[in-house]
Amino acid sequence: MEQIQLTIEEQHDGERIDKVIAELNEQWSRSQVQQWLKEGHVLVNGKAVKPNYKCHVDDEVVISIPSPEPLDVAPEPIPLDIYYEDADVLVVNKPRGMVVHPAPGHMHGTLVNALLAHCQDLSGINGVLRPGIVHRIDKDTSGLLMIAKNDLAHESLVNQLVNKTVTRKYVAIVHGVIPHDYGTIDAPIGRDPRDRQSMAVVENGKEAVTHFRVLERFEHYTFVECQLETGRTHQIRVHMKYIGYPLAGDPKYGPRKTLPIDGQALHAGVLGFQHPRTGEYFQFEAPIPHEFERLLDMLRNNR
């Protein structure tokens, strides 16, 4: 069982405890957090509280995260593009089209299946279904992921995500020509009330902050770098749509069949974090995949 400790800061004074906790991690839903509170897995100043408890500055919160129900997941000898590996962490470059972890109805061909075949010492905090997984990227997004090989590493990396000290930079091709060179999108993200299978900017959503800068402009598109301050589900895809520049090729949030790419043009190119055992800062960069580079060449030639 993983434990996370935090102290309530001034910006969360008066907010509901379930809302504050749900904002800490992209994989926690508010309903899940409410269940933890009801089951006594969350203590505030040493005592169990209800989901509607209003936080006070300097409240000491301890979250004991129960392990999910395990499912049998089979190791599969799928090649991995490994950028770094030691006894604690693994950094891999996930290809487009690969799902990160299994789900009912999709139990094969995932990154987790490949990881189980590659190493037997993954962190068990997330259970058999998501061993070693600290964060994730979408199926059709390529790029770098950090994997925890033991529980110490898992807790350290999750806490770095919670404290916003992990560097995560993506590159994307978006529709439209962004006129300004830099920008920050600070807009909360939650389930779209009109489509529960999608995310959207909603008033009662989780805090979400994306910084972007323009790398190159084309006639009808812009090549941008996006840096995550938070890591909500589909964050970059939702935020860029929200400001009027949806990702090219995005089947859920953008116009259909505009560029010859299967899925959104999004690549997690830079990942940086402190090593969980030594404290040394590591940063890795993965080049743009061939399909993405081909799109850029096409747009440059059509100027």
* Per-residue H/E/C for 70-128: CCCCCCCCCCCCEEEECCCEEEEEECCCCCCCCECCECCCCHHHHHHHHCCCCCCCCCC
What is the pLDDT, as a whole number, of residue 89? 96
Average pLDDT over the chain reads 90
- Identify the burial level of 69 via C-beta atoms within 10 angstroms of its C-beta, where 0-12 means exposed, 13-18 middle and 19 or more buried: exposed
Residue 70, pLDDT > 60, answer no
What is the pLDDT, as a whole number, of residue 68? 58
Of residues 71 and 155, the one with the higher pLDDT is 155
pTM as predicted: 0.78
Which of 269, 201, 259 is CA-nearest to residue 234? 201
What is the pLDDT, as a whole number, of residue 69? 57
Per-residue confidence band for 32, with pLDDT thresholds at 50, 70 and 90? confident
- Of 58-72, 194-208, 241-255, the range with the lowest mean pLDDT is 58-72
pLDDT tens, position by position, 260-282: 888 999 999 999 999 999 999 99
Catalytic residue among 18, 59, 88, 138: 138
Give CA–CA dist 257/219, Å, rounded: 17
User: What dotted CATH number matches 68-300?
Assistant: 3.30.2350.10
Domain spans of the chain, in order of start: 1-66, 68-300
Per-residue confidence band for 2, with pLDDT thresholds at 50, 70 and 90? confident
Average pLDDT over residues 92-120: 88
What is the pLDDT, as a whole number, of residue 63? 92
CA–chain centroid gap for 303, Å, is 34
Residue 119, pLDDT > 90, answer no
Give CA–CA dist 279/152, Å, rounded: 13
Of residues 151 and 106, the one with the higher pLDDT is 151
| Residue 138: active-site member | yes
What is the pLDDT, as a whole number, of residue 31? 79
pLDDT tens, position by position, 283-296: 999 999 999 999 99
Residue 126, pLDDT > 70, answer no
Average pLDDT over residues 16-27: 82
**Architecture, CATH, for domain 1-66:** Roll (3.10)
